[in-house]
A and B are shown apart, each in its own frame.
Chain A
């Protein structure tokens, strides 16, 4: 059974940093593209970042480019999102999602972890 478990969310001050983790089970994470999608409180879904199956290509939304970094650890079967220079508008639940097909259809999602950026 495919499972994704995010962790690492919390309260951080503006300008601060946080690293989110997404532990995968039931499949080999490094065989698939993986993405982060966020949802601000009461709002819709916003794609944040994707790492392709090979791990050589990464993609970012303009809103986080230069501040966030997606990566993975094959040995731990875990996906990461390093978030720097956090802003109030980054406040959201962050979901990790497994890619299907070309990797840009999201067929399994984690339960999400809440990041709150506030002083």
Chain B
């Protein structure tokens, strides 16, 4: 099983600032990585797939990068609606696995 590790667990950011979230895989997943956003009490929403492709309707301030084992989700200028928990997920191998999540909170 591929273990996905996200850091930091909590990120405190002021509105308008940049947020950088990391996701590390225990073995290569090539570019088969997705990012999801989950707000409290809501369902997860797909943000990024293929490591760097934004899903339909996702604003350009969200960007993904990386390949192999190291990945980054960047939110260029945090808006109030971006404060949430973010999960990475690998889809290179079965079983599908998620990271433990990074909570982005208001500083």
User: Could you list which residues of chain A lie within 8 angstroms of chain B, going by C-beta atoms?
Assistant: 35, 37, 44-47, 50, 59-62, 95, 100-102, 104-112
Nearest A residue (CB) for B38: A45
**Total interface residues in chain B, CB < 8 Å:** 24
Given contacts A101-B49, A105-B34, A105-B49, contact A47 B97 (CB under 8 A): yes
Complex interface: chain B residues within 8 A of A47 (CB): 89, 95-98
User: Could you list which residues of chain B lie within 8 angstroms of chain A, going by C-beta atoms?
Assistant: 1, 32, 34, 36, 38, 43-46, 49-50, 55-56, 87, 89, 91, 94-101
Complex interface: chain B residues within 8 A of A104 (CB): 32, 91, 96
B98 touches which one: A46, A50, A101, A109 (CB < 8 A)?
A: A46
Chain A CB within 10 Å — which of B1, B45, B95, B101 has the most? Answer: B95
B91 touches which one: A37, A102, A111 (CB < 8 A)?
A: A102
Main secondary structure of the interface of A (DSSP, over half): strand
Q: Are A111's CB and B100's CB within 8 A?
A: no
Complex interface: chain A residues within 8 A of B43 (CB): 95, 109-112
For the complex formed, measure the closest distance between the CB of A91 and the CB atoms of chain B, giving whole angstroms: 18
Complex interface: chain A residues within 8 A of B46 (CB): 100, 105-108
